[in-house]
Structure 1
Amino acid sequence: MGAKIAGAGPIAAFDRIQSRVAMAEEFGASCAIEITGELSETAEAANLADFDYIIDTTGVTEVLQQAVGLLAPKGALALVAAYAPEPKLWIDPSYIMSGGRRVIGVVEGDSDPQTFIPKLIEHHREGRLPFDRMIQYYPFDRILDAISDGETGKTIKPVIRMQ
């Protein structure tokens, strides 16, 4: 949604869960593909490579490792997920340097909340940012279901309600 609002294109989305692939298309991806094996193999089979920008929302080091290899020269990989301390991400420094590629950690959108949040609210009110469709609410007594659904990808954004 954010890439579409920003005017990016073409926008490719990859996911292991078909319902999320469909949602990505609905939310603005020009190409959404279900990953059935390795990310790099899926991208190659779709004739996709050399991405200018990749945003990792998976938090899966194995996927990150493959995403680095899909970056175009001068491309940037933004890390926006929560990552476990293990396994470590290993990057070939000559591959990064030779193409001027970047790996960037993004915290809280790297924005000024005083200006960014009102813009997000405006986009939501105008129907361009239906983030509420990605939220699944759980009562507190189902907290373990919420955690499991978030970890497996069944739910994009589990939210616990304290009742």
Structure 2
Amino acid sequence: MNHLAHMAVDGLLVSVLAPLLLMLLRALRVEPPTLPAVVVAPGVVLLHAAAVLLPALAGAAPVLLLAGGVLFWTPVLGRRRLSPAGRIVYLFATMPALDLPGVWLVARGDGPGGIAMVLGMLPIGLTALGLAWRWTAEEERTAAADAAAHVGHGAVGGATRETTHGRTGS
């Protein structure tokens, strides 16, 4: 496999294949451990950097990236998930750190390889954006339903007061 494809695949293992594998495992009722996000995020960032940048790990890199990626996605897609806001913050906060190996490659003179890796990780940001959009839409729906219920309740209460006032006044 050529170098550019290899770098893109390294990114896609974490950003696309790992969440798909996690969803498949969950469908098969196999639940990987869900570690706290504050433990998983730095651990996967370090694992990702080591797997990409250390030549000694080159042979094991795909397995390490896939396993680390599954653990990375458990706070987002696992049985014990973060709140909607937590998932969004987790992904947006971790994404730049996961891009650092690609940035390092660019700084070392391997611009195409580093950019291929960063582009391979882009689905993480797109997922975070999609989650933010969905959360915002749900919050707007909830607020609209609450406002409608409040207006409806107020109208019923107002009609009740008028009716009561009419009865007492006669």
Higher helix content, 1 or 2: 2
Larger RCO (CA under 8 A, 6+ residues apart): 2
- Scaled by the length of structure 2, the TM-score of the pair is 0.24
In our comparison, the structure showing a higher alpha carbon Rg is 2
Normalised TM-score (structure 1): 0.24
